[in-house]
A and B are shown apart, each in its own frame.
Chain A
Amino acid sequence: GAGVSQSPRYKVAKRGQDVALRCDPISGHVSLFWYQQALGQGPEFLTYFQNEAQLDKSGLPSDRFFAERPEGSVSTLKIQRTQQEDSAVYLCASSPGANYGYTFGSGTRLTVV
């Protein structure tokens, strides 16, 4: 597509509920990134894929967070047993490769109540 598409745009989850956030990157972009952004802060790195391989997941805050990109295109970020501290905007970005800037999607605003 023309840009990075994320869904849902907004998600309200009850504490303890599992959620799945979807990212559809720009066609042909091999690199895909997930970031978490809290209010008033910059995006914080979560995980990185090159095609279908998850090359870095050092930013995932706990083992409740899981990401996949099984066919090297669409990616899903799953959060199990959501907690209030998981409330944030989750941004997905893609890029053609190293040394290129990223294109971000509009993000998913997750609120855990």
Chain B
Amino acid sequence: RKEVEQDPGPFNVPEGATVAFNCTYSNSASQSFFWYRQDCRKEPKLLMSVYSSGNEDGRFTAQLNRASQYISLLIRDSKLSDSATYLCAVPGTRALTFGSGTRLQVQP
């Protein structure tokens, strides 16, 4: 099993929809997790941190399920500008391990 796994998508959703992505991890000792957003040909940018049971920031909610070893990202009221690739990151021995990303395409 890979350390961090994500469904590559793409997720094609209409504007205003609610969409959720999952990210599974294999290192059960992880204490903090992150979601990054990456636009085409740009660098990843930190979207949210998830340190305990979850985190909410406006339309974005991140949840952690330790028992099942996954984190999720929920986006409500999707905007065209949310179209991007969403990467999850899990602490490894020395550095963050990234998933391959889930591509989201919000359509008008």
Binding site for B on A (CB under 8 A): 33, 35, 40-45, 48, 55-56, 58, 91, 99, 101-107
Known: A42-B99, A99-B32, A101-B49. A107 touches B92 (CB 8 A): no
The answer to whether B43 and A41 have CB atoms under 8 Å apart is no
Interface check B29, CB cutoff 8 A: no
Given A42-B4, A45-B94, 5 more A-B residue pairs with CB atoms under 8 Å apart are A33-B95, A55-B94, A56-B94, A99-B32, A99-B51
How many residues on chain B are close to A (CB under 8 Å)? Answer: 27
Interface residue from B6, B34, B101 paired with A101 (Cβ < 8 Å): B34
Interface check B1, CB cutoff 8 A: no
The answer to whether A48 and B98 have CB atoms under 8 Å apart is no
The answer to whether A103 and B94 have CB atoms under 8 Å apart is no
A42–B34 alpha-carbon span in the complex (Å): 14
Query: Who on chain B is nearest to A103 by CB?
Result: B46
Interface check B66, CB cutoff 8 A: no
A103–B31 alpha-carbon span in the complex (Å): 19
A44–B95 alpha-carbon span in the complex (Å): 10
**Residue in B36, B43, B87, B93 whose Cβ sees the most chain A Cβ within 10 Å:** B43
Interface residue from A43, A45, A55, A56 paired with B44 (Cβ < 8 Å): A43
